Amino acid sequence: MLSYKTMNTQAILSYLPQAQRHYDALRAYYQNLSFREAVDNAARGRIPLNSSNCSFAATGFDGHQHRIGHDKCREGAEALLETEIFQRLERAQSFEDIMDITNEVAGRIERLGPLWSYDTALRIALHRDWHPRNVYLQTGARGGANILRDQGLISPMELRGRRHVSRSAFPTFLQQYEPYMIEHLLCVAKRENWL
């Protein structure tokens, strides 16, 4: 039986309402844009600044993209808006389809990596109210998953060489959440030392 003695479940539970408000505001913001605007804003890392105010008068640059920078994000946006790629995005049927396209673009532009690809795909998918089927691991989320692995809460085989894993690979406590929320919680919990 797995033990949660090292996972600060109380801190995670206390944080969840804030995380849910953030995603609800992000979803509402992207659903109020045209698809072209959603693609452009998503790639440029634009998010609403105030998750409690749905007027979205003010947007900011997502902190996840600060290492990449505005110029590289703009390059990513321009690539996604190229006719052929944009048409593929329009034909996409799932988050995973969008993720394939953002991965392709990230592979063509130096410094656009897995985090930009995932965040951009998630924001575009929110326009259509789609979510990932699996938990994607990059940067902080992978670090959080590795901590759980080191604690014996995730099988090392589940993580080895994988970009994403099934929700069922995680401890029961986390399995109750959607994969995009597990990804977010892994990242925050690692940063805050809740794992």
pLDDT for residue 60: 80
Is 114 contained in some domain?
A: yes
Residues 49 and 104 in one domain: yes
Distance CA 193, CA 154 (A): 18
pLDDT of 2:
45
82 and 37 housed in the same domain: yes
- Specify the pLDDT at position 66: 79
H/E element, 138: none
**Which of 77, 104, 127 delimits the end of a domain?**
127
Question: In terms of domains, do 117 and 183 share one?
Answer: no
Residues 116, 151, single domain; the answer is no
Structure pTM?
A: 0.90
Query: Is 151 within the bounds of a domain?
Result: yes
Distance CA 151, CA 166 (A): 19
Look at residue 169 in the predicted model and tell me its pLDDT.
96
pLDDT at 3: 45
The answer to whether residues 54 and 93 belong to one domain is yes
Question: pLDDT tens, position by position, for the chain (195 residues)?
Answer: 344 446 788 999 999 999 999 899 999 999 999 999 999 999 999 988 765 544 455 678 787 777 888 999 999 999 999 999 999 999 999 999 999 999 999 999 999 999 999 999 999 999 999 999 999 998 899 999 999 999 999 999 999 989 999 999 999 999 999 999 999 999 999 999 998
- Output the pLDDT for position 52: 54
3-state SS, residue 60: strand
CA nearest neighbour of 80 among 48, 31, 38: 38
Structural domain containing residue 53: 33-127
* pLDDT of amino acid 81: 98
The verdict on 62 and 78 lying in the same domain is yes
- Give the number of domains in the chain: 2
68 shares its domain with 138: no
Do residues 45 and 116 both lie within one domain? Answer: yes
**Same domain? 114 vs 44:** yes
Domain boundary among 84, 106, 127: 127
What is the per-residue pLDDT for 38? 97
Residues 89 and 162 in one domain: no
Q: Would you call 34 helix, strand, or coil by DSSP?
A: coil
Angle between helices 70-80 and 95-108 (to 10 degrees): 120
Does some domain include residue 3? no
